[in-house]
């Protein structure tokens, strides 16, 4: 085991109380936190059912933390997966609400809608509101729109904006603990004209009613309901505080106030609470209710506040550039309101003899490249530079980091044209989790009620589909949810028509046979016939192949029924081995097994019906917060040596490459909140350059006791915060590079942009203080 650095030893020496840790990029934060968790498991004298609770807001960290802690506790001669719990905050909130749904005003059978379902509900409600109330929002349109453009705005752009404004307002209200009824009460009490808040309240009311009809909640509901349960049920809170005597929080810079309140309650009066993060890497604030200042405040007040400031990730000149970015943002930014974007500690290189030394210092491996490039020309120049570099460095990693996904798609096309190997998996999503969970869930659902012919028929669909896939015929409709995973391409070329023919035949057979099974009067007459045999009665109407398959399926069902008495974790693993042989999906099955085993341990009264419901939640993609998703969660740049990784800048957080190309660093994607800047959230068709999302939140805050509302002030504040977030994004991207860093800019889609202020200022600093 590597020897900890002095600062890491200070963290690892933690015994109790509050500790806030500011950790710079590449400082070994995860390495340190996992060792602290393992040490507490081994030495903190935990009782039999007590655990160290590790909470992260990032899905990909769950597996990473668990596997590392397992290895460490096994080295101490202890059992893995015992004495600690790693989960996301949404998982934690879900379990708290499940324990007392009545206190949240929910039924026992409530379920969680995923982002897609939530978006669909909100779209319908917002469109309905817009059709009836269009005149209430058109007063915010600028007066100099042509008739042709006005029609386009009213029919397409404004309805989308209404939905987005409402979405942010609902998230804000829920994070503030505001119900739609409470917000309506504030509107009635104040009596002031607040058209944006009124719009938000009306859509919020309709959205929440639609959820209530379905006995559903969204992810934001989980958080606010969890806090309400903890505030109401002292007995449950006491039990959870005893169960988790230590709370360790990772990525704390991305936490919101209400999320912080949940963990603060769980930590209780003993306050054994460790928060680790880097406020300088808070780059999701524009998309969430996260507030990096909360971690800064916690670190300032905590009983212990060590820093993890040494980093061996990047070569010294890249570290100098990152530190100079911090200095410039604090001392030299022309807008004083933006100067709080980055704070210390500065990054320090590692000491001599460190097990992770910095790469050799090569100032010449940093470059700022500008010119009157269009987006296409910028992409072409970067691709032209990467081709020869990959040939010369086949064992190294590199990345193209783009500000928006569309630019990444265009970059992939350019690399494809030039024959340059690349991976764009970070731009895509996958339904592998949903498929795997659904396949097993259908069997568990049947085992919970083996007298149901409909459930037996659904089992047949999954069993037969897995056989067809094993024989090399693959189609998305074999999965009951349908829908091809985004990014998968249709087979082309020779043999395509033959493949389609086999696929269609297999689908038809599955539909027909499952229909027959669904019409069985008593499934036991098929599975365990006593005198009367359903299969004998229908045998003459079946083909030989159908009969053979139904006999084989019957044997499989009998086997499953014999397994039904196993503990849930073992049952899931056995079913997974029946359906899958590839390592990726078997790994997913293992995760499902662990989730349901924990649920069963915490709720020993749950039988198969309730556990089946839990697995159904995963199958419907509603438990992405469990860390069972694939995609970016499993991405490792080291698996893509000799290829170009294409990623959005936000998607690159937590990753690192030998060579990094930051693209599109212009004043549109990186505004500085100075005169002449344009801002992505501000639409050209609104009067006075208003940011309606910010103005809506300001009206809501004013209603609930905040500052009096003054139109335009929230837009100015939003510009400043957006500029601060862009500085942090620049810093994050710089610190992704180990050895080489290339930063380029373009003139934008409409050829009216210029290099970002931070691009120009950092280039000057590089030329004056870093370059050879």
**pLDDT tens digits, one per residue of 530-565:** 888 899 988 888 888 889 999 999 999 999 999 988
Overall average pLDDT of the 96-123 stretch: 89
151 is an annotated ligand-binding site residue: no
Residues 85, 122 share a domain? no
Residues 592, 710 share a domain? no
- pLDDT, one tens digit per residue, over 154-175 is 988 899 899 999 999 999 999 9
| pLDDT of 632 over the 60 cut | no
Overall average pLDDT of the 134-156 stretch: 90
Q: Flag whether 632 is in a domain.
A: no
Overall average pLDDT of the 192-214 stretch: 94
Q: How much is the pLDDT for 477?
A: 43
- Compute the distance between CA of residue 111 and CA of residue 103 in angstroms, rounded to an integer: 15
Contact between 35 and 58 under an 8 Å Cβ cutoff? The reply is no
27 is an annotated ligand-binding site residue: yes
Last-in-domain residue among 291, 308, 325: 308
- 3-state secondary structure at position 60: helix
Residues 181, 245 share a domain? no
Q: At 225, list the tokens.
A: 């309901």
Residues 561, 497 share a domain? yes
Residues 606, 507 share a domain? yes
Closest by Cα among 132, 134, 130 to 163: 130
Q: 111 pairs with which residues across the strands? A: 216
Structural domain tally of the chain?
4
Residues 568, 657 share a domain? no
| pLDDT of 765 over the 90 cut | yes
Q: 22 pairs with which residues across the strands? A: 277, 307
Residues 678, 614 share a domain? no
25 is an annotated ligand-binding site residue: yes
Neighbours of 686 (CB within 10 A): 18
Overall average pLDDT of the 716-721 stretch: 93
- 3-state secondary structure at position 400: strand
Residues 710, 566 share a domain? no
CB-based contacts of 536, cutoff 8 Å, min separation 6: 529
- Compute the distance between CA of residue 26 and CA of residue 7 in angstroms, rounded to an integer: 14
Overall average pLDDT of the 278-289 stretch: 78
Identify the residue with better confidence: 268 or 591. 268
Last-in-domain residue among 289, 308, 327: 308
Residues 384, 339 share a domain? yes
Closest by Cα among 262, 252, 207 to 90: 262
- pLDDT, one tens digit per residue, over 46-66 is 998 899 999 987 666 787 888
pTM recorded for the entire structure: 0.77
Range of the domain at 608: 432-620
425 is an annotated ligand-binding site residue: no
138 is an annotated ligand-binding site residue: no
Residues 493, 612 share a domain? yes
Q: How much is the pLDDT for 496?
A: 45
Q: How much is the pLDDT for 1?
A: 53
Q: What phi and psi, each to the nearest 5 degrees, are found at residue 78?
A: -105, 160
- pLDDT, one tens digit per residue, over 301-356 is 999 999 999 999 999 999 999 999 999 999 999 999 999 899 999 999 999 999 89
CATH number at residue 15: 3.40.50.300
303 is an annotated ligand-binding site residue: no
Q: Flag whether 14 is in a domain.
A: yes
Q: In the predicted model, what is the mean pLDDT of the chain? A: 88
29 is an annotated ligand-binding site residue: yes
Q: Flag whether 105 is in a domain.
A: no
Q: Flag whether 626 is in a domain.
A: no
Q: Flag whether 334 is in a domain.
A: yes
Closest by Cα among 396, 651, 450, 652 to 565: 450
Residues 564, 689 share a domain? no
């Amino acid at each position: 085991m590597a020897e900890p650095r002095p600062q890491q030893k200070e963290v690892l020496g933690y015994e109790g109380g509050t500790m806030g840790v500011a950790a710079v990029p590449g400082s070994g934060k995860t390495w340190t936190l996992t060792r602290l968790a393992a040490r507490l498991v081994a030495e903190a004298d935990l009782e039999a059912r007590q655990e160290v609770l590790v909470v992260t807001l990032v899905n990909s960290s769950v597996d990473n933390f668990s596997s590392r802690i397992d290895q460490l506790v096994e080295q101490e001669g202890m059992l893995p997966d015992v004495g600690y719990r790693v989960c996301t905050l949404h998982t934690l909130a879900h379990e708290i609400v499940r324990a007392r749904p009545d206190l949240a005003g929910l039924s026992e059978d409530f379920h969680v809608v995923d982002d897609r379902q939530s978006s669909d509900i909100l779209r319908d409600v917002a469109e309905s509101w817009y059709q009836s109330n269009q005149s209430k929002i058109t007063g915010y349109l600028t007066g100099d729109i042509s008739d042709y453009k006005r029609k386009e705005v009213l029919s397409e752009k404004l309805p989308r904006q209404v939905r987005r404004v409402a979405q942010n307002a609902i998230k804000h209200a829920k994070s503030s603990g505001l119900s739609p009824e409470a917000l309506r009460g504030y509107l009635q009490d104040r009596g002031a004209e607040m058209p944006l808040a009124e719009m938000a309240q009306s859509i919020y009311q309709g959205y929440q009613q639609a959820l209530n009809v379905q006995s559903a909640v969204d992810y934001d509901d989980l958080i606010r309901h969890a806090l309400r349960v903890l505030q109401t049920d002292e007995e449950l809170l006491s039990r959870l505080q005893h169960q988790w005597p230590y709370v360790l929080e990772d990525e704390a810079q991305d936490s919101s106030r209400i999320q912080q309140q949940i963990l603060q309650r769980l930590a209780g009066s003993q306050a054994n609470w460790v928060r680790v993060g880097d406020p300088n890497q808070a780059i999701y604030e524009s998309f969430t209710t996260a507030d990096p200042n909360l971690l800064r405040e916690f670190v300032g007040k905590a009983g212990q506040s060590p820093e993890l400031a040494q980093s061996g990730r990047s070569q010294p000149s890249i570290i100098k550039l990152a530190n100079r970015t911090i200095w410039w943002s604090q001392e030299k930014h022309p807008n004083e309101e933006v100067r709080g974007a980055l704070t210390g500690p500065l990054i320090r290189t590692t000491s001599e003899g460190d097990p992770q030394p910095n790469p050799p210092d090569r100032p010449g491996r940093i470059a700022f490249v500008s010119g009157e490039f269009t987006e296409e020309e910028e992409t072409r120049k970067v691709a032209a530079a990467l081709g020869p570099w990959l040939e010369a460095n086949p064992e190294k990693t590199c990345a193209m980091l783009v500000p928006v996904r569309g630019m990444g798609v265009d970059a992939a096309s350019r690399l494809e044209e030039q024959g340059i190997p690349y991976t764009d998996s970070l731009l895509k999503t996958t339904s592998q989790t949903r498929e795997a969970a659904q396949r097993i869930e259908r069997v568990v659902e049947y085992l919970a009620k083996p007298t149901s012919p409909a459930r037996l028929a659904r089992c047949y669909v999954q069993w037969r589909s897995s056989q067809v896939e094993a024989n090399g015929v693959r189609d998305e409709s074999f999965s009951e949810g349908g829908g091809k995973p985004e990014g998968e391409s249709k087979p082309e070329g020779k043999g395509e028509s033959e493949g389609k023919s086999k696929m269609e035949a297999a689908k038809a057979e599955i539909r027909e046979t499952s229909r027959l099974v669904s019409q069985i009067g008593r499934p036991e007459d098929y599975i365990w016939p006593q005198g009367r045999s359903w299969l004998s009665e229908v045998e003459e109407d079946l083909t030989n192949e159908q009969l053979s398959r139904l006999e084989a399926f019957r044997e499989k069902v009998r086997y499953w029924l014999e397994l039904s008495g196993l503990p849930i974790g073992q049952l899931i693993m056995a079913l997974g081995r029946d359906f899958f042989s590839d390592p990726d999906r078997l790994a997913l099955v293992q995760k499902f097994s662990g989730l349901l085993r924990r649920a069963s341990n915490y709720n020993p009264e749950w039988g198969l019906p309730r556990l089946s419901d839990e697995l159904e939640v995963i199958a419907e993609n509603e438990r992405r917060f469990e860390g069972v998703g694939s995609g970016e969660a499993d991405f490792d740049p080291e698996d893509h040596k000799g290829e170009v990784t294409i990623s959005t800048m936000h998607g690159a957080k937590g990753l690192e490459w030998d060579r990094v190309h930051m693209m599109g660093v212009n004043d549109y994607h990186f505004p500085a909140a100075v005169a002449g800047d344009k801002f992505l959230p501000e639409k050209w068709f609104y009067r006075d350059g208003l940011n309606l999302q910010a103005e809506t939140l300001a009206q809501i805050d004013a209603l609930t006791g905040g500052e009096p509302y003054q139109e335009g002030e929230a837009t100015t504040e939003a510009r400043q915060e957006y500029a601060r977030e862009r500085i942090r994004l620049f810093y994050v991207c710089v610190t992704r590079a180990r050895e080489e860093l290339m930063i380029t800019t373009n003139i934008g889609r409409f050829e009216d942009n210029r290099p970002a202020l931070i691009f120009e200022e950092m280039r000057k600093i590089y030329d004056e203080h870093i370059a050879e």
